[in-house]
Amino acid sequence: MPITPANGQTTGTAAMTATDTADEPIMLELVDEDGRTIGTAEKLAAHQAPGQLHRAFSVFLFDEQGRLLLQRRALGKYHSPGVWSNTACGHPYPGEKPFAAAARRTAEELGLAPSLLGEAGTVRYNHPDPESGLVEQEYNHLFVGLVRDTPQPDPEEVGEYAFVTPDELARRHAEAPFSVWFMTVLDAARPAIRELTGTTAGW
């Protein structure tokens, strides 16, 4: 698994920032089954049933003890509010590299930059969300890395966070709601997670 220092910078002329005006539609990249870009769609439209296959990313960051950084999505989120999920996730803007998008959203949501960040493969899934009626039809780029800074979450994005061991995650997952995509992306990223954290961390 290639690991690269992450500085949170974005690349590509289409990259945008958190300060973009709210009245501008957020556009996503539509892709085919092989992950090739075939067009764009507005964010909410891409998630309305039956869903349009689009590019996404998921980030899993670990501290030096091998604990996974989870976040609980803010209650004001339009999709999956108030549920626990992986460190950060989202969608690259059209023309934005997934790695740059992953670093950008980690900074926007949690106010930190990973000390290391590496690619961990891709996973394609179709997960309807029974609560909202929206559909996660995604070609997801996975990233794993290390974090040494204390999160400073944006309250509009993140309700709370926690660093958990595998056993703590299992207990939390049994007791609290998680995002519909969480276990799919976690299981797909496990080989890279084990390479990063070592066998003693238990992932």
Residue 34 burial (CB < 10 Å; 0-12/13-18/19+)? exposed
Half-sphere exposure of residue 47: CA atoms within 13 angstroms, side-chain side = 19
Q: Which of 89, 96, 119, 157 is catalytic?
A: 89
Q: What values do phi and psi take at 162, rounded to 5?
A: -155, 145
Q: Which of 96, 108, 109, 138 is catalytic?
A: 138
| Other beta carbons within 10 Å of 2 | 7
In sequence order, what are the residues at sequence separation of 6 or more whose Cβ sits closer than 8 angstroms to the Cβ of residue 92?
28, 29, 55, 56, 57, 98, 100, 101
- Is 64 one of the annotated active-site residues of the chain? no
- Is 138 one of the annotated active-site residues of the chain? yes
Return the SS3 of 191.
helix
> Which residues are marked as active site?
89, 138
